[in-house]
A and B are shown apart, each in its own frame.
Chain A
Amino acid sequence: MRTGTRSALLVLADGRFPAGGHAHSGGAEAAVKAGRIKDADDLEAFCRGRLHTTGLTSAGLAAGAAHGLDPHALDAAADARTPSPALRAAARRLGRQLMRAARAAWPDPGLDALAAAFPRGAHQPVVLGAAARAAGLGPEDAAHCAAYETVGGPATAVVRLLGLDPYRATAVLARLAPDMDRVAERAAAAAGEGVDALPAASAPLLDLTAEQHATWPVRLFAS
Chain B
Amino acid sequence: MHLGHAHTHHGAVSADAHRPDGTRRALRVGLGGPVGSGKTATVAALCRALRDTLSLAVVTNDIYTREDAEFLLREAVLPPERIRAVETGACPHTAIRDDISANLEAVEELEDAVGPLDLILVESGGDNLTATFSKGLVDAQIFVIDVAGGDDIPRKGGPGVTTADLLVVNKTDLAPHVGSDLERMARDAKEQRGELPVLFTSLRSAEGVGPVADWVGARLAAWTA
A and B: partners? yes
Whether B90 is near chain A, meaning CB under 8 Å from some CB there, is: yes
Provide the B171-213 mask, 1 if CB < 8 A to any CB of A, else 0.
0000000000000000000000000000000000000000000
Q: How many Å lie between the Cα of A103 and that of B2 in the bound state? A: 8
Provide the B65-85 mask, 1 if CB < 8 A to any CB of A, else 0.
111000000000000000000
Chain B nearest CB from A211 CB (Å) reads 16
Q: Which residues of B contact A19 (CB under 8 A)?
A: 99, 101
Q: Which residues of B contact A119 (CB under 8 A)?
A: 10
Q: Is the CB of B13 within 8 A of A104?
A: yes
Q: How many Å lie between the Cα of A56 and that of B220 in the bound state? A: 49
For the A-B complex, the count of residue pairs with Cβ-Cβ distances under 8 Å equals 93
Q: Is the CB of B65 within 8 A of A220?
A: yes
Chain A nearest CB from B97 CB (Å) reads 10
Q: How many Å lie between the Cα of A19 and that of B99 in the bound state? A: 7
Whether A115 is near chain B, meaning CB under 8 Å from some CB there, is: yes
Q: How many Å lie between the Cα of A101 and that of B87 in the bound state? A: 18
Q: How many Å lie between the Cα of A147 and that of B91 in the bound state? A: 24
Contact of A23 among B8, B66, B67, B89 (CB under 8 A): B89
- For the complex, would chain A's binding face be called helix, strand, loop or mixed by DSSP majority? helix
Whether B140 is near chain A, meaning CB under 8 Å from some CB there, is: no
Q: Is the CB of B11 within 8 A of A222?
A: no
Given contacts A107-B2, A217-B66, contact A24 B101 (CB under 8 A): no
Q: Is the CB of B90 within 8 A of A220?
A: yes
Q: How many Å lie between the Cα of A207 and that of B100 in the bound state? A: 27
Chain B nearest CB from A172 CB (Å) reads 19
Given contacts A112-B5, A217-B66, contact A101 B101 (CB under 8 A): yes
Q: Is the CB of A222 within 8 A of B87?
A: yes
Whether A20 is near chain B, meaning CB under 8 Å from some CB there, is: yes
Provide the A148-172 mask, 1 if CB < 8 A to any CB of B, else 0.
0000000001001100000000000
Contact of A93 among B10, B67, B90, B105 (CB under 8 A): B105
Given contacts A18-B100, A115-B12, A218-B67, contact A107 B5 (CB under 8 A): yes
Residue of B nearest to A219 (CB): B65
Whether B88 is near chain A, meaning CB under 8 Å from some CB there, is: yes
Q: Is the CB of A103 within 8 A of B12?
A: yes
Q: Which residues of B contact A115 (CB under 8 A)?
A: 9-10, 12
Q: Which residues of B contact A25 (CB under 8 A)?
A: 89
Whether B138 is near chain A, meaning CB under 8 Å from some CB there, is: no
Whether B1 is near chain A, meaning CB under 8 Å from some CB there, is: yes
Q: Which residues of A contact B95 (CB under 8 A)?
A: 22-23
Q: Is the CB of A103 within 8 A of B90?
A: no
Given contacts A19-B99, A218-B65, contact A96 B2 (CB under 8 A): no
Provide the A20-39 mask, 1 if CB < 8 A to any CB of B, else 0.
11111100000000000000
Q: Which residues of A contact B101 (CB under 8 A)?
A: 18-20, 97-98, 100-101
Whether B94 is near chain A, meaning CB under 8 Å from some CB there, is: yes
Whether A116 is near chain B, meaning CB under 8 Å from some CB there, is: yes
Name the 7 nearest CB pairs between A and B, nearest first. Answer: A97-B101, A23-B89, A222-B87, A18-B99, A107-B2, A220-B90, A20-B101
| Chain B interfacial positions (CB closer than 8 Å to A) | 1-2, 5, 8-14, 63-67, 86-91, 94-95, 98-102, 104-105
| Chain A interfacial positions (CB closer than 8 Å to B) | 16, 18-25, 93, 96-101, 103-104, 107, 112, 115-116, 119, 157, 160-161, 216-222
